[in-house]
C-alpha cells in the first residue's frame, strides 16, 4: 500500500488517539454537509457520515489512506449532536441524567477504489445529575463542542456511573478496533 495516512477530522481528541497507532499522519478536516437522509436510522448515521468524510478527502488525495470518523450520542432514539447553545446543552444533560445512552463512532478507511467502514457501539450510564451540577458544568464551556454535551475524557467524567464497551469510542475514536481494521486494510 503506497501513500500516506490522512485523518479527515480536525478533532484534537481524534488526533491524539490516532497517534497511539499511527506514528505519522496528516490532517485534512472534511468540510462536508453533515445532513443525513431521513430514512437513515440513528444507529447508522455515524458510519454514513464517516464514509462521506473519508470520500470527500480521498477525492483530494487519491493515493493516500484516508480515515474518516463521526461520533453520535443517542438517547431515547434521538441523536444528540453538539449543543447549539447553553440551553440546548442543559436539555441534553437533563435527558442523559440517571439513564443509559449509546455512543456510536463510525469509521471509514478509504484508499483509491477500496473502502472499509464499520461502527463501534458503547453504552454509557450517567448518575442522576442535579441542576446545579449541570449549570456548573455548562459554565466551564466544555460541553459546547461535544456530541451529547459532555466530554468523558474531561470534566464530564464525573457524571459517568458505568461504561460497557470501548472507552476511547466515547472519546471519538475506537482505537483498538481501528488498529486491527487498519492493519488488515494495509496488508492488501
Ordered by where they begin, the domains of the chain are 5-187 (3.90.950.10)
Res 175: pLDDT = 97
**How far is C-alpha 174 from the chain's CA centre?**
9
Residues found in the chain: 188
How do residues 151-172 score in pLDDT, each as one tens digit?
999 999 999 999 999 999 999 9
Instruction: Fill in the DSSP letter of residue 149.
Output: G
Those residues whose C-beta lies under 8 Å from the C-beta of residue 36, and which sit 6 or more positions away, are 45, 48, 49
Are β-strands 100-111 and 5-7 bridged in parallel, bridged antiparallel, or unpaired? unpaired
SS3 65: strand
**How far is C-alpha 60 from the chain's CA centre?**
23
**All 3 cell numbers of residue 59?**
477525492
What residues act catalytically?
Answer: 70
Res 35: pLDDT = 85
How do residues 94-137 score in pLDDT, each as one tens digit?
999 999 999 999 999 999 889 999 999 999 999 999 999 999 99
What is the band of 34 on the pLDDT scale with cuts at 50, 70, 90? confident
CA distance 184 to 188: 7
> What value does the mean pLDDT take over residues 69-83?
93
CA distance 43 to 81: 13
Residue holding cell 463512532?
105
Percentage of the chain exceeding pLDDT 70: 98
Are β-strands 160-164 and 114-126 bridged in parallel, bridged antiparallel, or unpaired? antiparallel
Amino acid at each position: 500500500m503506497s501513500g500516506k495516512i490522512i485523518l479527515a477530522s480536525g478533532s484534537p481528541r481524534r488526533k491524539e488517539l490516532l497517534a497511539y497507532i499511527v506514528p505519522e499522519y496528516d490532517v485534512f478536516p472534511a468540510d462536508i454537509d453533515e445532513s443525513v437522509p431521513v430514512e437513515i436510522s440513528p444507529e447508522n448515521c455515524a458510519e454514513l457520515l464517516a464514509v462521506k468524510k473519508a470520500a470527500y478527502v480521498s477525492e483530494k488525495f487519491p493515493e493516500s489512506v484516508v480515515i474518516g470518523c463521526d461520533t453520535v450520542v443517542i438517547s431515547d432514539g434521538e441523536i444528540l449532536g453538539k449543543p447549539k447553545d447553553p440551553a440546548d446543552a442543559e436539555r441534553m444533560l437533563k435527558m442523559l441524567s440517571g439513564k443509559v445512552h449509546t455512543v456510536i463512532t463510525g469509521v471509514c478507511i478509504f484508499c483509491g477504489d477500496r473502502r472499509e467502514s464499520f461502527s463501534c457501539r458503547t453504552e454509557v450510564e450517567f448518575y442522576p445529575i442535579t441542576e446545579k451540577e449541570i449549570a456548573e458544568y455548562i459554565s466551564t464551556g466544555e460541553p459546547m463542542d461535544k456530541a451529547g454535551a459532555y466530554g468523558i475524557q474531561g470534566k464530564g467524567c464525573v457524571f459517568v456511573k458505568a461504561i460497557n464497551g470501548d472507552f476511547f469510542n466515547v472519546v471519538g475514536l475506537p482505537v483498538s478496533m481501528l488498529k486491527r481494521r487498519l492493519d488488515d486494510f494495509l496488508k492488501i
